[in-house]
Amino acid sequence: MSKKNNTIEHLFGSSTRVKLLRLFLHHPEESFYVRELSRRLGVQIHAVRRELDALEKVGLLASRRETPAEAELEPGEAPKKGRRAPLAERKYYQTNQEHLLYPELRALITKADLLVEEQILQRIKDLGDVQYVGLMGRFLGDRSIPTDMLVVGLLPKKPLTALIAELEAEVGHAIDYTVLTPREFKYRKDVTDRFLFSLLEAKKIVLVDRTGGLAQL
């Protein structure tokens, strides 16, 4: 990642802290536990614990202890067969929306997400022939849009799936994406496909448009 795209990490002093802030600020109503965060963000558990403690101490996160349902247990959490030992409690963390800096931090993280635009475009271009890339939905704070990224081009499926997973870990939220070949895109546009038109009409950031005007309404 370039120095330009590292601005937010330099500001907060830790890539793990930035990943956690992005996740919690994009999902303020949800709560997460340590192992879940480590797995989801691709960060070692001890690093996650350290940053969670720091964010809780300054009041940006609140925590509670709760016993998970048996069906939700991860390997190693369930009592050994034949034993009736009580299930261990988990410590769940959630955004403290009452914190004085919550609105400003959420706005800052949302703007910082846009700094990765150039990186996203270049990494997608490296996979193959790309004619169009548009960011919408969660990238602009709008969860009503069914897709966060529309890509038109000839791209290999597995490398693209792997790239999206990497980007999700970096921005701290899921990325719902739609990929169409140029032929599929033209056909859907010609038949006035409702789904495609909902994306073309949505507020978006267009990173590249080489469709010859087809992406315009």
- Whichever domain contains 92, its CATH number is 1.10.10.10
Structure token digits, residue 130: 């790309």
The number of folded domains in the chain is: 2
| Helices (runs of H) and strands (runs of E) counted in the chain | 9, 7
**How confident is the prediction for the chain on average, in pLDDT?**
85
Does 46 lie in the same domain as 10? yes
Q: How do residues 60-107 score in pLDDT, each as one tens digit?
A: 999 999 887 764 666 555 555 555 555 678 999 999 999 999 999 998
Does 90 lie in the same domain as 22? yes
Question: What's the rounded mean pLDDT across residues 148-159?
Answer: 94
Does 53 lie in the same domain as 84? yes
**Assigned domain for 110 exists:** no
pTM given for the model: 0.61
**Assigned domain for 166 exists:** yes
Structure token digits, residue 39: 């797995």
Percent of the chain exceeding pLDDT 70 equals: 84
Residue 135's domain comprises: 115-209
Question: What's the rounded mean pLDDT across residues 149-164?
Answer: 94
Q: What Å distances lie between residue 23 and 26, 61, 105, 118, 167, CA to CA?
A: 5, 12, 12, 21, 13
Check if the beta carbon of residue 188 is closer than 8 Å to that of residue 212.
Answer: no
Gap between the Cα atoms of 185 and 195, Å rounded? 11
